[in-house]
Amino acid sequence: MGAMIKQRLMDDQKVAMKQGDRARVDCVRMLRSRLLEREVALRPQKGPQYEIEDDEALAVIATYAKQRRESIESFRQAGREELASREEAELAIVEGYLPQQLGEAELRSIVAEVVAETGASTARDTGKVIKAVMARVRGSADGKLVSRIVGEALASGNG
Protein backbone atom coordinates (compact mmCIF):
# COMPACT_ATOMS: atom_id res chain seq x y z
CA MET A 1 0.00 0.00 0.00
CA GLY A 2 2.33 2.79 1.24
CA ALA A 3 5.99 2.82 0.28
CA MET A 4 5.59 3.11 -3.51
CA ILE A 5 7.39 6.45 -3.59
CA LYS A 6 10.20 5.11 -1.39
CA GLN A 7 10.64 2.15 -3.71
CA ARG A 8 10.59 4.38 -6.78
CA LEU A 9 13.29 6.58 -5.24
CA MET A 10 15.48 3.53 -4.50
CA ASP A 11 15.03 2.23 -8.04
CA ASP A 12 15.72 5.65 -9.57
CA GLN A 13 18.86 6.04 -7.47
CA LYS A 14 20.21 2.70 -8.72
CA VAL A 15 19.53 3.64 -12.35
CA ALA A 16 21.09 7.09 -11.91
CA MET A 17 24.19 5.53 -10.32
CA LYS A 18 24.56 3.10 -13.22
CA GLN A 19 24.19 5.97 -15.69
CA GLY A 20 26.67 8.15 -13.81
CA ASP A 21 24.09 10.92 -13.38
CA ARG A 22 25.65 12.56 -10.33
CA ALA A 23 23.06 15.36 -10.02
CA ARG A 24 20.14 12.91 -10.01
CA VAL A 25 21.91 10.58 -7.55
CA ASP A 26 22.53 13.46 -5.15
CA CYS A 27 18.98 14.77 -5.44
CA VAL A 28 17.35 11.35 -4.95
CA ARG A 29 19.62 10.65 -1.97
CA MET A 30 18.53 13.93 -0.41
CA LEU A 31 14.86 13.07 -0.94
CA ARG A 32 15.35 9.61 0.56
CA SER A 33 17.13 11.19 3.51
CA ARG A 34 14.25 13.64 4.06
CA LEU A 35 11.74 10.77 3.98
CA LEU A 36 13.78 8.78 6.50
CA GLU A 37 13.98 11.82 8.78
CA ARG A 38 10.20 12.14 8.65
CA GLU A 39 9.73 8.42 9.32
CA VAL A 40 11.98 8.57 12.36
CA ALA A 41 10.20 11.68 13.63
CA LEU A 42 6.82 9.93 13.38
CA ARG A 43 7.85 6.65 15.01
CA PRO A 44 7.21 7.76 18.60
CA GLN A 45 3.52 8.32 17.68
CA LYS A 46 3.08 5.62 15.03
CA GLY A 47 5.21 2.81 16.43
CA PRO A 48 8.77 1.57 15.93
CA GLN A 49 8.00 -0.23 12.64
CA TYR A 50 6.35 2.77 10.99
CA GLU A 51 7.11 3.29 7.32
CA ILE A 52 6.11 6.52 5.67
CA GLU A 53 2.92 6.43 3.60
CA ASP A 54 2.82 7.87 0.11
CA ASP A 55 0.64 10.85 1.04
CA GLU A 56 3.08 11.82 3.79
CA ALA A 57 6.01 11.25 1.41
CA LEU A 58 4.40 13.57 -1.14
CA ALA A 59 4.07 16.25 1.53
CA VAL A 60 7.78 15.92 2.36
CA ILE A 61 8.73 16.11 -1.33
CA ALA A 62 6.42 19.11 -1.89
CA THR A 63 8.10 20.91 1.02
CA TYR A 64 11.51 20.17 -0.48
CA ALA A 65 10.34 21.53 -3.86
CA LYS A 66 9.10 24.69 -2.15
CA GLN A 67 12.51 25.13 -0.50
CA ARG A 68 14.17 24.79 -3.92
CA ARG A 69 11.85 27.48 -5.38
CA GLU A 70 12.66 29.82 -2.50
CA SER A 71 16.38 29.20 -2.98
CA ILE A 72 16.11 29.99 -6.68
CA GLU A 73 14.38 33.27 -5.88
CA SER A 74 17.02 34.18 -3.27
CA PHE A 75 19.93 33.32 -5.55
CA ARG A 76 18.45 35.37 -8.40
CA GLN A 77 17.95 38.37 -6.10
CA ALA A 78 21.60 38.05 -5.04
CA GLY A 79 22.76 37.84 -8.66
CA ARG A 80 23.98 34.24 -8.27
CA GLU A 81 22.63 32.82 -11.53
CA GLU A 82 24.90 29.75 -11.50
CA LEU A 83 23.49 28.67 -8.13
CA ALA A 84 19.94 29.42 -9.25
CA SER A 85 20.49 27.25 -12.34
CA ARG A 86 21.74 24.37 -10.19
CA GLU A 87 18.68 24.66 -7.96
CA GLU A 88 16.39 24.73 -11.03
CA ALA A 89 17.94 21.49 -12.28
CA GLU A 90 17.33 19.89 -8.88
CA LEU A 91 13.77 21.26 -8.78
CA ALA A 92 13.05 19.64 -12.15
CA ILE A 93 14.10 16.25 -10.72
CA VAL A 94 12.06 16.76 -7.55
CA GLU A 95 8.94 17.80 -9.47
CA GLY A 96 9.07 14.47 -11.30
CA TYR A 97 7.96 12.82 -8.05
CA LEU A 98 5.05 15.18 -7.46
CA PRO A 99 1.59 14.94 -9.04
CA GLN A 100 0.97 16.97 -12.18
CA GLN A 101 0.45 20.57 -11.11
CA LEU A 102 -3.02 22.00 -11.63
CA GLY A 103 -3.48 24.88 -14.03
CA GLU A 104 -4.66 28.24 -12.77
CA ALA A 105 -8.13 27.77 -14.32
CA GLU A 106 -8.60 24.39 -12.58
CA LEU A 107 -7.40 25.90 -9.33
CA ARG A 108 -9.81 28.84 -9.63
CA SER A 109 -12.66 26.36 -10.11
CA ILE A 110 -11.66 24.42 -6.97
CA VAL A 111 -11.34 27.66 -4.98
CA ALA A 112 -14.82 28.73 -6.14
CA GLU A 113 -16.26 25.37 -5.04
CA VAL A 114 -14.62 25.60 -1.62
CA VAL A 115 -15.74 29.22 -1.15
CA ALA A 116 -19.31 28.18 -1.96
CA GLU A 117 -19.15 25.11 0.30
CA THR A 118 -17.70 26.97 3.27
CA GLY A 119 -19.80 30.09 2.83
CA ALA A 120 -16.64 32.20 2.96
CA SER A 121 -17.19 35.84 2.08
CA THR A 122 -14.52 38.02 3.69
CA ALA A 123 -10.76 38.13 4.08
CA ARG A 124 -11.23 36.70 7.59
CA ASP A 125 -12.19 33.40 5.94
CA THR A 126 -8.95 33.17 3.93
CA GLY A 127 -7.21 30.69 6.23
CA LYS A 128 -10.20 28.36 6.33
CA VAL A 129 -10.51 28.38 2.52
CA ILE A 130 -6.77 27.89 1.90
CA LYS A 131 -6.70 24.95 4.31
CA ALA A 132 -9.64 23.27 2.57
CA VAL A 133 -8.22 23.89 -0.92
CA MET A 134 -4.77 22.58 0.02
CA ALA A 135 -6.34 19.43 1.48
CA ARG A 136 -8.23 18.91 -1.76
CA VAL A 137 -5.30 19.50 -4.17
CA ARG A 138 -2.75 17.44 -2.15
CA GLY A 139 0.56 18.62 -3.60
CA SER A 140 -0.90 19.43 -7.03
CA ALA A 141 -0.67 23.19 -6.50
CA ASP A 142 1.77 25.69 -5.06
CA GLY A 143 0.64 27.26 -1.79
CA LYS A 144 1.53 30.79 -2.93
CA LEU A 145 -0.66 30.44 -6.00
CA VAL A 146 -3.53 29.02 -3.93
CA SER A 147 -3.18 31.89 -1.47
CA ARG A 148 -3.23 34.49 -4.26
CA ILE A 149 -6.29 32.96 -5.96
CA VAL A 150 -8.18 32.64 -2.66
CA GLY A 151 -7.37 36.27 -1.85
CA GLU A 152 -8.64 37.38 -5.26
CA ALA A 153 -11.81 35.28 -4.93
CA LEU A 154 -12.66 36.64 -1.50
CA ALA A 155 -11.84 40.21 -2.52
CA SER A 156 -14.11 39.99 -5.59
CA GLY A 157 -16.86 38.38 -3.50
CA ASN A 158 -16.57 41.32 -1.15
CA GLY A 159 -16.81 43.91 -3.80
Rounded CA gap, 36 and 100, in Å? 24
Average pLDDT over residues 39-61: 89
Number of domains in the chain: 2
Helix count and strand count (H, E) for the chain:
7, 0
Give the separation between CA 130 and CA 115, rounded to whole angstroms.
10
CATH number, residue 62:
1.10.1510.10
Question: Looking at the structure, do residues 8 and 84 belong to the same domain, yes or no?
Answer: yes
Please give the residue that has the higher pLDDT: either 32 or 104: 32
Domain of 109: which CATH number? 1.10.10.410
| Residue ranges making up the domain that contains 67 | 4-95
Residues 122 and 91 in one domain: no
Share of the chain above pLDDT 70, in %: 97
